[in-house]
Each structure stands twice: as structure tokens, then as C-alpha cells.
């Protein structure tokens, strides 16, 4: 059989088939003819790999290797191509020497073989860069094998140091523990060395934990130079007097140059007993046969730490027997110093009902419209067992400040023994006090009010001829109201009016209500609650002319408003001077 070499790339071996049927024909027994086929495996191509660190620092030299496994491509003439963006230099190790290579690099043709080639490169800027290596057929430039790897380049990060886990505050004479943590960062694995320096004025002792032992150190302290590593060093200091003390730590390169500095404060306090605070009422009054639940107490030691969970309460309270009992509270701090015993007095008494006291008495009066809502003068409630119960009082009943009458408010409270106290207050809403002396009829020019506070503006527009009857002379000498015989008149009210309005039209309105409607409204020039109530009465009196037009316009729930609006003003003007009053305008229909 002819032997074929399959190790050269490009030669393809054809399967060999040998027929054995001719030999089987001579065998003394019957055999089914068989054909045996021998298959030759396909060639295994070359493989290239790159050994490259994942990260480095700007300016550092990075060593990497390119390893080739030729497999069935062994002996093929190839060229090595290297591409490495971001590097500023590339070198190849030849024997013990380093040879500078151009970038990118293309090697000369050589026979492909198993082996590892060493390179080194440097970077001048941070970033992530991808390195590729490939072998090309030297004659055809056909790619034979390739691979790539990435590296992240970052700006140099120096070592760092900080003070951690500082125990503060501490008692005088006790140790204050603290740690000094160093991080090597980009100094890790280098030969760079550093020293640690500590100062702590006021401390009487400094120790360093070495293994399981504590070693005394001088103050101030500077360590010997050592290689920078990631480490946590444990220290402790003692103090003989109270105060606030500052720990200063310097971490320095031996070059010398400072790596980092840090400071921390340690508070040292005098060792005084803990303080206990009783919670809840003291004395605490309980009804006979009630249940006693201790409100408890809190405790704080001299360091400000809450040690309430260490409190021991002693003493019994028998609520089935009326008497005075004492509950004691004690606590000891972590150093064995005890607090002064604090006590609570518990009085078990026969239950008495609570009492309610009304500020301002059981009867009060308020003026109609003096405020939008009623303000209660106040109340207080208490009993012997529960103390102040004011916050538990419930008040029922309402007061309508716009309607004259008597209203009842009921005050109730129930104590812990289920005893209830109830009291009431009578609130009278009275008509506003009228200060005007007013009067006079609306007929043939009766007398007009003569309130000295009455300041108004004369009737709008000029009047010609005639004699003014029933008029009022203001302090300024002007004539307001009255009837001018033989004269023409103009529109009386020119504005819409509501609560709080002031001015001449308010004076005119008050004059009209008194002089023509025989009401007793004070002349104030302010549309107040008294004027508001008088307008509502006027609107009710002339319902058909003032309210009904709104109902007909679709405002089904319309009622006297107390405000002078379209229909109210029109009614007053038409009654005062019908000849100068235009017809009632058409109202905008309701949309409901």
C-alpha cells in the first residue's frame, strides 16, 4: 500500500478503499463480499494564543507572550502580524536582549513552529485597548491563525490610608481602640516602601496588636519602612484625664512624600453613675381593682449609651387593696458602677368620677354674624386616678352663627374606671347691637335717622328744583336721602354689594333699609353681618321680584342670599326712583 504524507498544508488525502472480495472467493466457505474503507482525518490548523494582563497603569511596562501551536500547519512559511493600538513602544525579547519593533509590526517569512515569543509594551494614556496577533501565509497572505486580548489602562492610583473603628467616647482610665487601614492600590506588588507616624497628645499609653499580643509603643510613634500592602493595623490608647483628644496619622513614602494623612477625635469622659428616668406619671394613680401596667424607665450611662435593657424593677402593686405602693428601678453600667435607685409612687384609690370645667361658664352669648363659625371658650377635665383628661373630652352639638336662638353643647369624658362625667353649655346667638338712633316713616317724608356717625354721599346725579323732604345731613354738610319735590332722580345704587364691602353705596343701602323698610340697621358704611341679615329679610319680603326670577331661570334651590346682586339692586332702585330704573335684564339660565 502506498503511504501518503498528510502533514503538509494544501495537500488533500483521498480515501483509500481496498476490495477484499477477490481474496474471499478462494475461501472454503461462503462469505458475503465486503468492502473496507479507511478514512483519513482532516488536518488540524495552527492555534495562536496571547498571554496578557487584564489591567495596568499608564507608563508601566506590560509583558505579554504570543504562543503558537503549529499542529498540521507545521513548516508552513508564515509572517507574524501584531496590532496593538494605544501603546507608545513595543519590544521583542531576543535571547537576553530586547529589540524595539515598529508599530504595527509585520514579521519576516519563517517556517511555522511550536513556540512562545515574549514582548513588552508601554502606554501613555488610560483606556481599554485590544491586542491582536495573526499568522498569514507568506506567499498567499491567507490567514492561518489569529487571536486577540484586551487590557485596561488606568491612571496611577497611589496607596491610601485612613483611621477606622475609633472607640469614642471612653471613660478615663479605659482604653480607646482604633484601626489604621492601608490600601496599596497601584503600589501593590512593587518595591515601594512607606512609614506610619502617629501622634496623640494627652494619651498616657499607646499599644499595637501583634498577633494575639499587645506591644507598647512610644508616643509619638513612627514605624520602620515596609513594603506597602493592603492591611488593617489595630491600636489602643489610654487616657488619665477627661477631654477631647486628636489622633493624627501620617502615611509617607520613603522618598519622602506624603501618601495620606487622617485625623480622628477621641472623647474621654469622667466615669459617673448612670442616670435613670421614670416614664409616665409619677405618682401614678390607679382605680381600685384596675390593672397595673408599669410604664417603665430608661437609663443612660456616662458615655451616652442606652442601657435601659439592663434596668431591674422591684416592688409589687396590689390593685385589689387601696394603698400607696413603691416601684424601684436600678441599673449598673458595663463597668459595674450603679445608678442611684429611682422610685415610682403608685396610689391605688377608690375610683371617683372625672370633673369637667367650662371656661367662660355654662352660658355664653355671641352676636349674630360676628364670626363665620362658633369658637368654644374652652374646657378642662380631670380626675384623681387619671389626672388630666382634657384630651379625651368629646363635644357634641352645633351653633349656627347666622341664626338667632339658643343652642346646647354637650361635653363628656370617661375615665379609666369607666366613670363618665357630662355637662352642657347654653350658647345664645343674639341680634347684633344697633347703635343708630334711626327712625321715621317711609310715607310722606317722615323724619330721617340722625346718627352722628352717618357719613354718606348725596343721591347720584343732579336734582333740579323742589324742596328736599325727609333728608339727612351728613357731618360734611351733604344731603342724603329724602324726597325732592318737583325734582328728577337718577339710579340710587350703582354697585353690587356683599359682606365686607364699604363705601357710599353701602351707606345708601343702609339708609334705604331704615328709611323705606323701617329696619334698624346701623349706619357704618360697612356691609356687616347686621346689613347682611337685613338684606336677606328684604329679599324674603319681595320674593316674587327678587328670588322668583332666578327660580324661573332654572336655579331651583335659589334662596335669599343676603347679597345685593342683579334682582335685589333692581328692586331697591325701582322702589326708590322708578323713573330712573331700567327694566330687569334677562338672567343667564342655569346649566344644571
* Chain centre distance of CA 399: 42
Q: Which of 107-116, 184-193, 295-304, 582-591 has the highest mean pLDDT?
A: 295-304
Give exposure, 435-455, as e/b (b: 16+ Cβ within 10 Å).
ebebebeeeebeebbebeebb
Q: What is the pTM of this model?
A: 0.48
Cell numbers standing for residue 278: 421614670
Mean pLDDT of 534-558: 85
Instruction: Give Cα separations from 76 to 5, 20, 386, 428, 481 (angstroms).
Output: 15, 38, 105, 119, 129
Which is it for the CA torsion 20, 21, 26, 32, positive or negative?
positive
Class of the CATH-defined domain 355-430:
mainly beta
Q: Which residue has the higher pLDDT, 510 or 34?
A: 510
Residue 19: which pLDDT band, with cuts at 50, 70 and 90? very low
Superfamily of domain covering 160-269? Immunoglobulins (2.60.40.10)
3-state secondary structure 479-522: EECCEECCCCCCCCCCCCECCCCECHHHHHHHHHHHHCCCCCCC
Mean pLDDT of 361-387: 89
Instruction: Give the pLDDT confidence of 478-504 residue by residue, as tens digits.
Output: 444 444 444 456 788 988 999 899 988
pLDDT for residue 13 is more than 90: no
Assess whether the region 160-269 and the region 275-349 belong to the same CATH fold.
yes
pLDDT for residue 32 is more than 90: no
pLDDT of residue 210: 93
pLDDT for residue 16 is more than 80: no
The C-alpha R_g of the chain, in whole angstroms, comes to 54
Q: Which residue has the higher pLDDT, 382 or 35?
A: 382
259 C-beta neighbours (distance < 10 Å), count = 21
Mean pLDDT of 420-440: 72
Residue 473: which pLDDT band, with cuts at 50, 70 and 90? very low
Pairing of β 468-469 and β 483-484: antiparallel
Beta bridge partners of 132: 83, 148
Task: Tell me what the pLDDT averaged over the chain comes to.
Answer: 82
* Chain centre distance of CA 179: 34
535 C-beta neighbours (distance < 10 Å), count = 26
Residue 37: which pLDDT band, with cuts at 50, 70 and 90? low
Class of the CATH-defined domain 275-349:
mainly beta
Q: Where in the chain are the domains?
A: 47-154, 160-269, 275-349, 355-430, 468-580
Residue with cell 338712633: 437
Residue with cell 331700567: 582
Q: 236, 248, 271: which is closest to 198 by C-alpha?
A: 248
Is CATH 3.10.20.30 correct for 47-154? no
With residue 16 as reference, give the H or E element that holds it.
strand 16-19
Helix (H, G, I), strand (E, B) or coil at 537: helix
Class of the CATH-defined domain 468-580:
mainly alpha
How far apart are the C-alpha atoms of 49 and 306, rounded to whole Å?
64
Amino acid at each position: 500500500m502506498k503511504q501518503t504524507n498528510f502533514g503538509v498544508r494544501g495537500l488533500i488525502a483521498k480515501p483509500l478503499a481496498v476490495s477484499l472480495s477477490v481474496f474471499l472467493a478462494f475461501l472454503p466457505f461462503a462469505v458475503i463480499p465486503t468492502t473496507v474503507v479507511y478514512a483519513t482525518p482532516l488536518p488540524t490548523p495552527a492555534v495562536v494564543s496571547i498571554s496578557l494582563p487584564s489591567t495596568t497603569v499608564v507608563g508601566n511596562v506590560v509583558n505579554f507572550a504570543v504562543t503558537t501551536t503549529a499542529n498540521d500547519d507545521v513548516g508552513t512559511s508564515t509572517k507574524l502580524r501584531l496590532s496593538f493600538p494605544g501603546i507608545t513602544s513595543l519590544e521583542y525579547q531576543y535571547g537576553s536582549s530586547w529589540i524595539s519593533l515598529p508599530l504595527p509590526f509585520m514579521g519576516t517569512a519563517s517556517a511555522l513552529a511550536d513556540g512562545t515569543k515574549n514582548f513588552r509594551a508601554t502606554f501613555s494614556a488610560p483606556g481599554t485597548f485590544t491586542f491582536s496577533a495573526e499568522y498569514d501565509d507568506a506567499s498567499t497572505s491567507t490567514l492561518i491563525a489569529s487571536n486577540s486580548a484586551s487590557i485596561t489602562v488606568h491612571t496611577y492610583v497611589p496607596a491610601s490610608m485612613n483611621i477606622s473603628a475609633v472607640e469614642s467616647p471612653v471613660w478615663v482610665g479605659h482604653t480607646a481602640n482604633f484601626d489604621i487601614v492601608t490600601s496599596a492600590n497601584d503600589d501593590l506588588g512593587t518595591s515601594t516602601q512607606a512609614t506610619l507616624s502617629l501622634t496623640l497628645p494627652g494619651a498616657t499609653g499607646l499599644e499595637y496588636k501583634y498577633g494575639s499580643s499587645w506591644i507598647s509603643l512610644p508616643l509619638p510613634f513612627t514605624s520602620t519602612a515596609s513594603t506597602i500592602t493592603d492591611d488593617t493595623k489595630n491600636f489602643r490608647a489610654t487616657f488619665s484625664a477627661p477631654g477631647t483628644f486628636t489622633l493624627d496619622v501620617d502615611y509617607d513614602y520613603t522618598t519622602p512624600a506624603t501618601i495620606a494623612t487622617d485625623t480622628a477625635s477621641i472623647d474621654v469622659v469622667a466615669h459617673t453613675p448612670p442616670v435613670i428616668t421614670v416614664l409616665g406619671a409619677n405618682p401614678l394613680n390607679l382605680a381600685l381593682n384596675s390593672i397595673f401596667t408599669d410604664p417603665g424607665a430608661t437609663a443612660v450611662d456616662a458615655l451616652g449609651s442606652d442601657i435601659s435593657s439592663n434596668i431591674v424593677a422591684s416592688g409589687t402593686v396590689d390593685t385589689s387593696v387601696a394603698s400607696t405602693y413603691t416601684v424601684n428601678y436600678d441599673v449598673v453600667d458595663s463597668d459595674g458602677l450603679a445608678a442611684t435607685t429611682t422610685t415610682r409612687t403608685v396610689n391605688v384609690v377608690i375610683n371617683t368620677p372625672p370633673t369637667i370645667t367650662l371656661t367662660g361658664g355654662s352660658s355664653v352669648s355671641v352676636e349674630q354674624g360676628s364670626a363665620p363659625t362658633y369658637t368654644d371658650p374652652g374646657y378642662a377635665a380631670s380626675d384623681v386616678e387619671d389626672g388630666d383628661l382634657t384630651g379625651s373630652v368629646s363635644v357634641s352639638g352645633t351653633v349656627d352663627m347666622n341664626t338667632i336662638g339658643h343652642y346646647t353643647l354637650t361635653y363628656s369624658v370617661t375615665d379609666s374606671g369607666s366613670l363618665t362625667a357630662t355637662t352642657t353649655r347654653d350658647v345664645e346667638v343674639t341680634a347684633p347691637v344697633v347703635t343708630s338712633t334711626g327712625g321715621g316713616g317711609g310715607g310722606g317724608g317722615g323724619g330721617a335717622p340722625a346718627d352722628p356717625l352717618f357719613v354718606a354721599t348725596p343721591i347720584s346725579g343732579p336734582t333740579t328744583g323742589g324742596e328736599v323732604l325727609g333728608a339727612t345731613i351728613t357731618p360734611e354738610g351733604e344731603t342724603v336721602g329724602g324726597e325732592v319735590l318737583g325734582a328728577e332722580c337718577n339710579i340710587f345704587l350703582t354697585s353690587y354689594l356683599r359682606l365686607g364691602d364699604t363705601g357710599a353705596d353701602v351707606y345708601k343701602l343702609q339708609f334705604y333699609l331704615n328709611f323705606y323698610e323701617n329696619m334698624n340697621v346701623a349706619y357704618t358704611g360697612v356691609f356687616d353681618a347686621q346689613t347682611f341679615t337685613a338684606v336677606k329679610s328684604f329679599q324674603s319680603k319681595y320674593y316674587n321680584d327678587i328670588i322668583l326670577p332666578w327660580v324661573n331661570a332654572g336655579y331651583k334651590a335659589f334662596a335669599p342670599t343676603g347679597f345685593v346682586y342683579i334682582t335685589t339692586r333692581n328692586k331697591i332702585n325701582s322702589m326708590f326712583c322708578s323713573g330712573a330704573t331700567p327694566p330687569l335684564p334677562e338672567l343667564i339660565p342655569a346649566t344644571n
